[in-house]
Amino acid sequence: MTEGTTNTTDENLFQLTNVNKRFTKGRESITIFDDLNMSIKKGEFLAIMGPSGSGKTTLLNMLGGVDQPTNGEVWFDGARIDKLSENGLAKWRAANIGFIFQFYNLMPMLSAARNVELPLLLTNLGKKRRKQSIDAALELVGLKDRAGHKPKEMSGGQQQRVAVARAIVSDPKMLLCDEPTGDLDRATADEILTMLQELNREYGKTIVMVTHDPEAAKYATKTVHLDKGEFVEKGSV
């Protein structure tokens, strides 16, 4: 057996092994993670909580392949991703990851449908098939009638639903969400969270969600607490 197969078991989608993360600026260097180990199971809806500055976003970035560990290994579905090239990672992200951001990160100049189409431009789907996928994704988030609207013509909750549609349109295995409800009121937040829960339960998406909000964490199947770069026990979870 090679090291690769020993590092991820069948049920683990993500595996972080001895991960070390330092930010260096000039002569100053801060260590965010020191020898971090973590695994995320397929089908899990994991909430990551923790105080500001504890490294939640940094962790999510490493999982999403937009940031690399200083030392250690990141495995995804049996393959190591932390050594991929910039464009190799871009391709990997296009195929496997859907991102949902706190501030939606929609393209202001494009309609909802065009925003949702973006990940499909990285696939081989033709125009007709793309249209079908866009319609299905917008239908799923309940915004089919808003396809032609620009982001600024929609509420925050609606924009985040477009962002969810964009994240799932190319059917990635994994959704990574950084404070997806951080900018929304309670009721709207609950709508989005219910939607994520449904995507996890009915569509089998593995989800990692960073949140400050204990109410949000209740939608997850598992919650971990991060403090100063380490996982800590908290309550009964």
7 or 172: whose CB is closer to other proteins? Answer: 172
* Neighbouring C-alpha atoms within 13 Å toward the C-beta of 45: 20
Give φ, ψ of 10 to 5 degrees. -55, -35
Closest CA to 97 of 220, 224, 2, 205: 205
Q: Does 107 bind other proteins (CB under 8 A)?
A: yes
Q: Does 64 bind other proteins (CB under 8 A)?
A: yes
Give φ, ψ of 98 to 5 degrees. -115, 130
Residue with tokens 């993360």: 21
Interface residues with Mg ion (CB under 5 A) are 57
Q: Could you list the beta-strand ranges (E) of 53-162.
A: 71-76, 79-80, 97-100
User: Which of the stretches 52-60, 72-80, 110-118, 133-141 binds ligand ATP when contact is defined by CB under 6 A?
Assistant: 52-60
33 or 99: whose CB is closer to other proteins? Answer: 99
User: Which of the stretches 4-12, 56-64, 131-139, 215-223 binds other proteins when contact is defined by CB under 8 A?
Assistant: 56-64
Closest CA to 207 of 237, 169, 159, 164: 164
The distance of closest approach from Cβ of residue 209 to ligand ATP in the complex, given in angstroms and rounded to an integer, is 12
Q: Out of 4, 53, 88, 142, which residue is the one contacting ligand ATP (CB under 6 A)?
A: 53
91 or 201: whose CB is closer to other proteins? Answer: 91
Find out whether 150 and 108 touch, Cβ atoms under 8 Å: yes
Give φ, ψ of 159 to 5 degrees. -60, -40
Give the count of residues interacting with other proteins (CB under 8 A).
31
The site map against ligand ATP for 2-31 (x = CB under 6 A) is: ---------------------x-x------
Q: Report the interface residues with ligand ATP, using CB under 6 A.
A: 23, 25, 32, 50, 52-58
